[in-house]
Copies of this chain bind each other. A is one copy, B any other.
Amino acid sequence: MTIPHPPGVHPAWLPPEAFRALGSRRTLVHGAGTLVDTVLDEVAQAGVRHGGHLVHQEPGPAAEQPAVAGEADPGAEAFDLVLALRGTAPLPAQAASVEVEFRQRYAERADPLGDEGFVLARHGDTTVLLADAPNGLLYGLFHLVRLGESAFGADRPVERHRPAMRVRMLDHWDNVDVHHRMGQVERGYAGGSIFWQDGGPRRDPARVRAYGRLLAACGVNAVAVNNVNVHATEARLLTDRLGDVAAIAELLRPYGVRVFLSVSFAAPIVLGGLPSADPLDEQVRAWWAGTTAQVYGTIPDFGGYVVKADSEGQPGPFAYGRSHADGANVLAEALAPYDGVVHWRAFVYNHRQDWRDRSTDRARAAFDHFAPLDGQFRDNVILQVKHGPMDFQVREPVSPVIAAMPATRLAVEFQVTQEYTGQQRHVCYLGPLWREVLEFGPWGAGGPTVAAVAAGSTPGDAGPAAVAGAAGSASAAGGGLVAVSNVGDDPFWTGHPLAQANLYAFGRLAWAPELDPSAILDEWIDLTFVPSSTADPELLRRTLHEIMDDSWHTYEQYTAPLGVGFMVRPEHHYGPDVDGYEYTPWGTYHFADRDGIGVDRTRKSGTGYAGQYPQPWSDVYESPQRCPDELLLFFHHVPYGHLLHSGSTVIQHIYDTHFAGAERVAGMRQLWERLSTAGLVDPELDARVRERLDEQLRGAQEWRDQINTYFFRKSGVPDARGRRIH
């Protein structure tokens, strides 16, 4: 196998230049297996390009044989780098001292590294990377790529790295058939699917393998290959079209990425020909068991199922008067013999709500449906909860479900694809948003964070330290982090080249949620743009930070204010339309009138949603005085003159942030101009980014003017600074 370089496709964070430090070393690889072959390929190819040298030592009896790429007896050679699987004798001599130090530091643990962890150290002139399994070796290799020259400098004491989350998954909302409304990729902003095209597999193995490689290099280990809205053709991936899924699994396997399938809850009917999909029906159970056995017969390392049930028209257990626990458990039971899991989405609400009925609150729905079921799900059910109660808005409170189900494995779901955050035409670096969610303490300061819950902690556990990535302990019971992918067949993968950073950041945060988003951006910049190879590395790095670091807040500034959400054009969700969803059945309202705006979700006078939180948040959100400004309109209906903590009124805040947001986008565009002028970026990438920034500026000004005009017309309050409102 060679390293995939699909022609004409941007290398993202794995350009050949990023392998210079690694590729120029003398390297010994000790171990065997598919993923060790991947490691060998990477090192060999880097070596060819950058003048390095590779020796492969097979463990056990084979160790005496000459290595694949080396010429000399490995024992006699001085290596700069040793990558070795522990527990396979004989460990290369150069790794011995590291092994000793590691055992001393982590003696207390039975399984200190797990399947995916690794140990890194540098003693003397040799950098040593040890792992217990090939996956760990591969993750370690990409860690070395990130470190670059610094991996080969001063001595490093032993560092243990292992992922905070066991599940680090990307869901592709990709359709096999082009959907008449949603196209090839639902909420996709980067062209077609890399997996599917016009009703069948795309047959572009290099692209899929390159994707797997990018995922491994940022830490993602699972992919669901089709849309959670499972249409007719896609349903059949489970049965007669399973071969298409197996082909993808084959391509991703060398990168430690397991494949999941979104399945229809009605599969026993539509595929099995049964009269019912009742989860308590014996025939249905048997059908799922038999079907799942066939799946594992074809794909032994298959990950499991993803299910959107009783949601936005998808079938589910409600049709049979069964609970979501019943529904999830019948699939889990079928998957259990193979260690498969079912990701059951908690995104269940009434999407045919009457806007006239102010008592129904979509934000309440997931908690109302699922909290009572805590403890009823099988161990291999992962309840997949969107991070906020609504739908991936630029600002939402953390979902109260996360604190409500201590006896259930919870996965937190993010959206890398920028459905509501600029659709990859706007720069919106989401690392800071996700970080804020991950470090949020549902039970207040001192309790576990959201990251800890996703990693398997419960309220009784210790605080945030429980998931301190490199050092913490990953709980097998955690549901992990899941996100909707932003990748398509676009040459830049993500439409907007800078949107690659979101994919990268998601992987990194799923591995190590404590990482600083700005530091992640630094990693991404160093890998993707390799500033050291440009004329002005500092300008490049600084400018990218200036554009991206705060771009989420900028986007928030010029779109829906103070957590109220939506105000987007219905269906496609791009661009402003303040009343677009106001009188629809979708449950997403702002209730603006001539006097005020916001949704009263208090216990006292509103929908009671604030009461779904434990203390302290229940009381904080209940109070218009204590509620954080950025969530004020999510929880309260207030007059336009309401004074924020910032000292501004709500209406003046709306004007100020919208003028400021559009100005900041103009600034971003000027900043990029510096890079263009200095010729610091590839011309094609430059052209693409410029085109998108032009559109972002137009879009931001449109948002500014529509929002300001709307609220000026409604409130009658003039801008205190006398700026132009149309």
A726 to B358, CA, bound (A): 9
A333 proximal to B (CB < 8 A): no
- Of the candidates B576, B709, B714, the one whose C-beta lies within 8 Å of that of A714 is B714
Shortest Cβ distance from A21 into chain B, in angstroms?
Answer: 50
How does the 8 Å CB contact mask read for A710-725 relative to B, with 1 for contact and 0 for none? 1011111000000000
Closest to A579 in B: B579
Other A-B pairs, 5, CB within 8 Å; known A583-B702, A593-B712, A593-B713: A356-B705, A579-B580, A583-B705, A583-B706, A583-B709
Closest 6 CB pairs of A and B: A593-B713, A356-B726, A579-B579, A594-B594, A583-B706, A594-B716
A395 to B593, CA, bound (A): 28
Residue from the set A576, A594, A705, A712 with the largest chain B CB neighbour count within 10 Å:
A594
Closest to A709 in B: B583
How does the 8 Å CB contact mask read for A349-387 relative to B, with 1 for contact and 0 for none? 000000110000000000000000000000000000000
A35 proximal to B (CB < 8 A): no
A583 & B594 in contact (Cβ 8 Å cutoff): no
Chain B contacts for A705, CB-based, 8 A: 356, 583
Interface residues of A in 622-661 (CB under 8 A from B): none
A595 proximal to B (CB < 8 A): yes
A712 to B355, CA, bound (A): 15
A521 to B576, CA, bound (A): 45
A348 proximal to B (CB < 8 A): no
Shortest Cβ distance from A586 into chain B, in angstroms?
Answer: 13
6 residue pairs of the A-B complex, CB under 8 angstroms, read A577-B579, A577-B580, A578-B579, A579-B579, A583-B706, A594-B594
- Of the candidates B576, B577, B595, B710, the one whose C-beta lies within 8 Å of that of A716 is B595
A579 to B569, CA, bound (A): 11
Interface size on A, residues (CB 8 A): 23
Closest to A716 in B: B594
A583 & B577 in contact (Cβ 8 Å cutoff): yes
A689 proximal to B (CB < 8 A): no
A592 proximal to B (CB < 8 A): yes
Closest to A595 in B: B716
Shortest Cβ distance from A329 into chain B, in angstroms?
Answer: 39
Closest to A583 in B: B706
How does the 8 Å CB contact mask read for A588-606 relative to B, with 1 for contact and 0 for none? 0000111100000000000
A714 & B593 in contact (Cβ 8 Å cutoff): yes
B594 & A713 in contact (Cβ 8 Å cutoff): yes
A583 & B576 in contact (Cβ 8 Å cutoff): yes
Chain B contacts for A712, CB-based, 8 A: 593
Chain B contacts for A580, CB-based, 8 A: 577, 579-580
A340 to B276, CA, bound (A): 63
Shortest Cβ distance from A607 into chain B, in angstroms?
Answer: 16
Shortest Cβ distance from A183 into chain B, in angstroms?
Answer: 10
Interface residues of A in 692-715 (CB under 8 A from B): 702, 705-706, 709-710, 712-715
